[in-house]
Chains A and B, each alone.
Chain A
Amino acid sequence: MSAPTAHDPAALEQLVAAKEVIVACGSGGVGKTTTAAALAAAVAARLGGRVLVLTVDPAKRLADALGLKGIGNEATRIPTSSFEAAGVKPKGELYAAMLDMSESWDALVRRHAPDARTAGQILANPLYRNISRRFSQGQDYIAMERLYELHEEGSYDLLVVDTPPSRNALDLLDAPARMQDFFSSRLLHWLTVPYRSRLVNLASKPFYQVADRVLGSQLLQDVADFFILFQTMREGFVARASAVDRLLHDLRTTFLLVTTLEAVPGREALEMKAALSERRLHLGLLVCNRVLPSTLTDPSSHEAAEALSAGAGELAELLSRQGAGELPADVTARVIEEVAGSFSNFRQVATRESELARELSSAHGVTVSVPYQPGHVADLSGLLQMGGTIWGEPGRSPRRRRS
């Protein structure tokens, strides 16, 4: 794509310095987690302060790079010596934590249940485990809730939070509101009422007749038990969910949208961007990952490729005469044609991608392009290099280790 990396490093520094929370979003597989970690590392290294990156489900390599050992809500500090080993003297401190879904759910239940006995009953309900593990909107909510908690604690200057891979990335934005809806729903009430009144008049309600016949009364009873218990947490949950929602809309919070410029993630990023603006959430930083070099869309390169393609045979003859047998004319002609053909193939892709980049980067804060690099970020040094690119450090591109 064209016109990439040239953003103003000062603008990014300004943005990051003004914010306390950065929420990374984007579709799966675009490098969201790595980008969040790289940004956090860059801030810790260059701007200073205590920076925490909260990841959800990092690939093993990234977890290793951050020194995360196993799941747990505990934050681990990345030692200064690791930075120094990577050739960086950090101004601040970098911490990493991995979100533990079921631990966070349990903590939430203990906090909001009216008493210890009810909490115990909820935790022991067979359906609770299923809810806490499977309810995907629940995962989004938990990530936001944990973020809120960390922000309240106030032990960090900047929180960078990675978000769970959702079926629908927009779910994340609506998670707190949905949690409120869930508890406020008349249906939830309706569903649990007959059981509270000990199955009185149950038979008269067609819905229950059908549900009973289809699902069996045992399951229905389990479900009802669960919801009755869950209802007791309503007040706490609703108050908390709206506090979480306020934090997301707070001036101190900004969103980091990560995407590649491929068709599907790109389209989802555009939707995400629209959704953020619709909900009046602040999109401060867009990172386009794995971007093709801008020379691919350069007219003079295109002209050269066309000339190579047209003159391949003649050129090969010439080079073959000059190359003293090292460049056999037939092979050389083939190579030149392949080179020109490949250029024109990738040019097509890059042109499409640069149009998408243009649409994505219009009318919002800072846009950063990270060039395509083979291999993947393997350690803190790789993260810092990627962080350097995001930070806009001149003349350095992220080098990544090959596995």
Chain B
Amino acid sequence: MTDLLARRLLFVTGKGGVGKTTVAAALGLLAAEQGKRTLVCEVEPKGDLSAAYECGPTPFKGREVGPGLTAMSMDTEASLREYLRLIARVPVVGRIGPVATAFDFVATAAPGIREILTVGKLCYEVRERHYDLVVVDASATGQVIGQLAAPSGINELVRVGLIRSQTDWMIEILADPAVTGAVIVTTPEEMPVSEAVDLAGRLGRETAVRLACVVANRVLPELFGHREEEVFERLCGRSEKAAVAKQLGVSVEAVSSVFAAARLAVTIRRDGAGHLEQLRAGIGEEVPLVYLPYLFGRAYGLRAIRQVAESLGEEL
């Protein structure tokens, strides 16, 4: 587990809304604090990463958001231009007109083109050792498999051409478990867990990338141990609640609401624990599983990212 940040390329994925960006941003922060030159890349440029770091826009060329920490957003057109300039050495990039729109159509039709430009850029940063660690706020469950499988899959479609000749080194980086790992983020809820389990299976079957770790985000604290629970049940009795209300000088209804809220908390927690058991059973014993506490306060922005990074630091 401690070697998670010793890898060079981490793809953070999971169902939408489970906190992928938060976890990716926190991993980046943690790595940078450990002295690693770190790049965090948002694959879908929705601005979530800049919201997480509370910085301005994070362009393709990168933006320094802290000591040793750079954030960027993927842009497949920019990636294509960079690729043409650096690798294909096409001199006329500036003059080939609206690459983006024409390219959009080709990329829509030909699977893997867009994906290869995304993964290719990330692998390139790893290969060139511009950074010690590249953390990817990757696409959600639906698309990430296509991205990770692109270098192998593209061989089927593109029989000749430069892209084809460029995939071998990418595959080498992606397939080395010491270099590259996937991190699946989930929450203790039904759909996120079942998607996480499904994704864990597909990663193994359809891509060369190994699952490095699963993060269960927003896990509620356990309120009571066994003895506490017995006492709690007794306190919920009518005469006990009445005694409490009388002693405190508040209404019985108000005391009941407070106790009911605790019961709801216990129920939600227990419900979640059931899903976490399914998660554990689904991903297997050998995959490290990290729990992150539910943040009752603001779950957004740099303060939340720091909190999550701290929890991750303790767990890793």
Q: Does A308 contact B (CB under 8 A)?
A: yes
Q: Does A340 contact B (CB under 8 A)?
A: yes
Per-residue CB contact flags for chain B residues 228-251 toward chain A (1 = under 8 Å, else 0) read: 100110110000100111011111
Q: In the complex, are the beta carbons of B17 and A342 less than 8 A apart?
A: no
Q: In the complex, are the beta carbons of B189 and A29 less than 8 A apart?
A: yes
**A114 contacts across to B, CB distance below 8 A:** none
Q: In the complex, are the beta carbons of B254 and A349 less than 8 A apart?
A: no
Given contacts A29-B191, A210-B84, contact A305 B258 (CB under 8 A): yes
Q: In the complex, are the beta carbons of B164 and A216 less than 8 A apart?
A: yes
Q: Does A55 contact B (CB under 8 A)?
A: no
Given contacts A131-B109, A134-B111, A165-B16, contact A301 B88 (CB under 8 A): no
Q: Looking at the complex, which one of B92, B142, B251 makes contact with A165 (CB distance below 8 Å)?
A: B142
Interface residues in B108-152 (C-beta closer than 8 Å to A): 108-111, 113, 139-140, 142-143, 146
Q: In angstroms, how far is the closest chain A Cβ from the Cβ of B25?
A: 14
Interface residues in A313-343 (C-beta closer than 8 Å to B): 314-315, 318-319, 322-323, 326-328, 331-332, 334-336, 338-340, 342-343
**B157 contacts across to A, CB distance below 8 A:** 219
Interface residues in A266-314 (C-beta closer than 8 Å to B): 292-293, 295-296, 298, 300-301, 303-305, 307-308, 311, 314
Per-residue CB contact flags for chain B residues 190-207 toward chain A (1 = under 8 Å, else 0) read: 111010000000000000
Per-residue CB contact flags for chain B residues 213-240 toward chain A (1 = under 8 Å, else 0) read: 0000000000110011001101100001
Per-residue CB contact flags for chain A residues 247-263 toward chain B (1 = under 8 Å, else 0) read: 00000000000000011
Q: Which of B30-38, B59-67, B294-302, B306-314 contacts A (4 or more CB under 8 A)?
A: B294-302
Where chain B touches its partner, the secondary structure class is helix
**B83 contacts across to A, CB distance below 8 A:** 214
| Nearest-CB residue, chain B, relative to A129 | B111
C-alpha gap A127/B159 in the complex (Å): 15
Q: In the complex, are the beta carbons of A339 and B161 less than 8 A apart?
A: no
Given contacts A216-B158, A319-B240, A372-B268, contact A346 B296 (CB under 8 A): yes
Per-residue CB contact flags for chain A residues 362-393 toward chain B (1 = under 8 Å, else 0) read: 00000000001011100000000000000000
Interface residues in B172-191 (C-beta closer than 8 Å to A): 189-191
Q: Show the binding face of B for A, using Cβ within 8 Å.
A: 15-17, 44, 46, 83-84, 88, 90, 92, 95-99, 101-102, 105-106, 108-111, 113, 139-140, 142-143, 146, 157-164, 189-192, 194, 223-224, 227-228, 231-232, 234-235, 240, 243-245, 247-251, 253-255, 257-262, 264-265, 267-268, 270-271, 274, 296-300
Q: Show the binding face of A for B, using Cβ within 8 Å.
A: 27-29, 59, 127, 130-131, 134-135, 165, 167-168, 185, 187-188, 190-191, 206-207, 210-220, 222-223, 226-227, 262-265, 292-293, 295-296, 298, 300-301, 303-305, 307-308, 311, 314-315, 318-319, 322-323, 326-328, 331-332, 334-336, 338-340, 342-343, 345-349, 352, 372, 374-376, 402-403
